[in-house]
């Protein structure tokens, strides 16, 4: 059938009212299900986080933070999570109700946001380091609760439904993130007349984020989890670790994925240096970066979902990995905040692809039995990388400067993407990276 004929038939069959009614019917059918609860939980999670996290860097800058504080801001959460994840995963298995324990850890994490609200009232010389350390400690309950949640996803949703749940939750989240970020950025930029008033606004947003976090916990508690996921279990750690190291299916996903994650994380502080020190970006511009990236991620979610079904995780890794490498090599040539906002569009598009492939890939690569231990091991290695990568980037920055460091990281991302492609092409490992 000719293209013009297909377009004419599409116009004839297109009925906006019918499409809206179908959408409303789908929403009504979804209400009360785990999918619906998972989406609402995700919206509250994203709202609580984006009331303050996009502005952590400018807030640190206003507190008097230096380059080393920016490095630690990216690095310390990884160190904390790397230390606690594996012991915490074994600890979780002993809880009679793992869901209740997960909710408790989420609530502790949100309560630490209140500590951030107190920092502007403290002496100036301790503010930057206290802010960085508090964020690092916050990753203790965060890492455990999110790993447990990933484990629940394997029990709550089956293979096909799991991918759909992740994609739909991500798409709705990417819709709310830019809205929350831009409103917060506009308020922080234009409402206060003095620096003192600006700090009071920051404190207000921290408190609101905590309150939204309480609602987030309540929504999480409504998630219906398989009873087996809540059952305590005694396990032999040595047996599980031998199983992990001998699992070729998991190993063929894990090794190239961690290599790429390291190169991805190494670029974060370098981007931050460029945005804060070179471009002098304010809170409003950080909100605009988040808006551009979020809108791009929202509209690209459907694209990546279709590619995931059609071509598998490996294709998503390769395409989005190469796009992230291109973004990194372009960053030093960005002369102003306006062009950085344009680059954020491509960053959001490629980042959502990587996030989708990583989450879906690790859930595919982990067996149902002892899934939480597998995930804890994987996330521990991700956080070890998160701890090392910013210092690696800081070393490159100190020796060659920010532009050369970004070029090196971009090259490493290309190499890591090539490794992923090569592992997939190997005969005995080919199915490990594809869906």
Question: Of all residues in the chain, what percent carry a pLDDT higher than 90?
Answer: 35
In a domain, 3, yes or no: no
The token duo for 299 is 């509209």
In a domain, 1, yes or no: no
pLDDT digits (tens, 9 = 90+) for 199-239: 999 999 999 999 999 999 999 988 887 655 455 555 666 77
Identify the top-confidence range among 68-77, 158-167, 302-311: 68-77
Identify the top-confidence range among 159-163, 345-349, 426-430: 345-349
Q: What is the CATH number of the domain that holds 344?
A: 1.20.1250.20
Q: CB-based contacts of 29: which residues, under 8 Å, 6+ apart?
A: none
pLDDT digits (tens, 9 = 90+) for 130-143: 999 999 999 899 98
The token duo for 353 is 């692809």
Nearest to 109, CA basis, from 219, 221, 212, 229 = 212
State residue 13's pLDDT score.
46
Domain that holds residue 123: 12-433
Q: CB-based contacts of 7: which residues, under 8 Å, 6+ apart?
A: none
Tell me the mean pLDDT in the region 409-418.
Answer: 93
Tell me the mean pLDDT in the region 304-310.
Answer: 80
In a domain, 193, yes or no: yes
In a domain, 5, yes or no: no
The residue with tokens 């992923």 is: 420
State residue 406's pLDDT score.
94
Question: Of all residues in the chain, what percent carry a pLDDT higher than 70?
Answer: 86
In a domain, 340, yes or no: yes
In a domain, 72, yes or no: yes
Alpha-carbon distance of 312 to 296, in angstroms, equals 21
Say if residue 52 is exposed, middle or buried (CB neighbours under 10 Å; 0-12, 13-18, 19+).
buried
Q: Give the pTM.
A: 0.74
- Per the CB < 8 A criterion, the answer to whether 99 and 225 are in contact is yes
Alpha-carbon distance of 384 to 378, in angstroms, equals 10
Poorest-pLDDT segment among 98-107, 227-236, 383-392: 227-236
Q: Is 10's pLDDT higher than 90?
A: no
Tell me the helices (H) and strands (E) count for the chain, helix number first.
18, 0
Count of the separate structural domains present in the chain: 1
State residue 25's pLDDT score.
59
Dihedral of CA atoms 268, 255, 307, 410 in degrees, nearest 10, equals 40
In a domain, 428, yes or no: yes
Nearest to 265, CA basis, from 83, 69, 411, 78 = 78
Tell me the mean pLDDT in the region 266-279.
Answer: 89
In a domain, 73, yes or no: yes
pLDDT digits (tens, 9 = 90+) for 364-385: 888 877 777 888 889 889 989 9
């Amino acid at each position: 059938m000719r293209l013009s004929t297909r377009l004419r038939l599409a116009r004839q069959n297109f009925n906006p009212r019918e499409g809206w009614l179908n959408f409303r019917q789908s929403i009504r059918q979804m209400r009360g299900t785990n999918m619906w609860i998972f989406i609402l939980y995700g919206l509250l999670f994203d709202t609580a986080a984006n009331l303050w996290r996009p502005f952590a860097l400018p807030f640190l800058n206003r507190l008097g933070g230096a380059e080393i504080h920016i490095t630690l801001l990216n690095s310390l959460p990884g160190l904390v999570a790397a230390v606690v994840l594996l012991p915490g995963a074994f600890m979780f298995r002993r809880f009679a109700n793992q869901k209740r324990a997960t909710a408790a850890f989420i609530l502790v994490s949100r309560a630490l946001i209140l500590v951030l609200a107190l920092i502007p009232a403290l002496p100036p010389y301790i503010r930057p380091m206290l802010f960085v350390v508090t964020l690092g400690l916050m990753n203790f309950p965060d890492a455990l609760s999110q790993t447990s949640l990933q484990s629940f996803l394997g029990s709550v949703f089956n293979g096909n439904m799991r991918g759909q749940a992740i994609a739909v939750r991500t798409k709705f989240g990417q819709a709310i993130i830019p809205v929350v970020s831009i409103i917060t950025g506009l308020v922080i930029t234009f409402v206060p007349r003095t620096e003192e008033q600006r700090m009071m606004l920051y404190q207000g947003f921290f408190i609101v984020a905590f309150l939204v976090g309480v609602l987030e916990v309540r929504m999480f508690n409504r998630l219906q989890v398989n009873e087996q996921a809540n059952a305590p279990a005694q396990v032999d750690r040595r047996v599980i670790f031998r199983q992990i190291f001998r699992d070729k299916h998991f190993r063929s996903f894990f090794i190239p994925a961690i290599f790429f994650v390291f190169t991805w994380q190494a670029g974060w502080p370098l981007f931050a240096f460029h945005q804060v020190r070179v471009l002098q970006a304010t809170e409003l511009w950080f909100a605009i970066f988040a808006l551009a990236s979020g809108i791009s991620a929202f509209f690209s979610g459907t694209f990546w979902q279709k590619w995931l079904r059609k071509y598998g995780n490996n294709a998503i890794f390769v395409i989005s990995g190469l796009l992230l490498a291109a973004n990194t090599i372009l960053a030093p040539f960005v002369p102003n905040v306006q062009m950085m906002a344009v680059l954020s569009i491509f960053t959001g598009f490629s980042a959502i692809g990587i996030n989708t492939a990583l989450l879906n890939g690790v859930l595919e690569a982990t067996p149902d039995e002892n899934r939480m231990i597998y995930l804890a091991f994987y996330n521990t290695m991700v956080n070890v990388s998160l701890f090392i990568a910013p210092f690696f980037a800081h070393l490159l920055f100190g020796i060659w400067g920010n532009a050369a460091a970004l070029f090196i990281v971009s090259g490493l991302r290309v190499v890591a993407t090539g490794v992923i492609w090569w592992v997939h092409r190997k005969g005995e490992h080919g199915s490990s990276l594809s869906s």
